[in-house]
């Protein structure tokens, strides 16, 4: 009984002296700050004015501007292949606390006619970001594989 008490006391003492690892310290989350690029096909629901155009090939730049522990600040720029102007949308997100390779971003449009609000579900794996996107208000969906710009490595 005394041995169990001593063990318990030693464990409590060790835990109280250990530095806590918290999300504020950013421990355990991938360092994904930088600009990630890729192309994808985007699909539109029948109610979306772009539905009649069919699948559109699009390019994007997802710029992860800041990590604050598990929190992610990002800017998403996208345009249809051949267009010159970018649509810009801002996003905030978080890494999953139970799987630090997974994250979610919620975006809100700030420029252009085709802006939308939606959710990115992403995973960082082997220096690649794979995302799926759903814009329920406008009926937009796509999946993309993004690689980091060479200048950001």
- Structural tokens at position 21: 């690892």
Residue 9 has a pLDDT of: 36
Task: Give every residue of the chain whose pLDDT is below 50, as ranges.
Answer: 1, 3-26
Residues in the chain: 153
- Long-range pairs for 114-119: beta carbons < 8 A, 24 or more residues apart: 114/50, 114/87, 115/87, 115/89, 116/89, 116/140
Counting the structural domains of the chain, the total is 1
Q: What is the CATH number of the domain that holds 139?
A: 2.40.128.120
Output the pLDDT for position 153: 57
Domain housing 17: 2-152
**Complete DSSP assignment for 20-47:** PP-GGGTTTS----EEEEEEEEEEE-TT
């Amino acid at each position: 009984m005394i041995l169990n008490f001593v063990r318990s006391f030693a464990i409590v003492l060790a835990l109280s002296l250990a530095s806590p690892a918290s999300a504020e310290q950013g421990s355990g989350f991938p360092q994904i700050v930088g600009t990630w690029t890729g192309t994808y096909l985007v699909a539109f629901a029948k109610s979306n004015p772009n539905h009649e155009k069919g699948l559109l090939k699009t390019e994007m730049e997802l710029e992860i501007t800041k990590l604050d522990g598990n929190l992610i600040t990002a800017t998403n720029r996208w345009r249809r292949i051949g267009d010159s102007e970018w649509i810009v949308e801002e996003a905030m997100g978080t890494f999953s606390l139970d799987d630090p390779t997974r994250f979610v971003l919620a975006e809100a449009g700030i420029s252009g006619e085709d802006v939308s609000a939606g959710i990115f579900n992403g995973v960082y794996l082997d220096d690649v970001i794979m995302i799926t996107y759903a814009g329920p208000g406008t009926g937009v969906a796509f999946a993309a594989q993004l690689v980091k710009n060479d200048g950001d490595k």
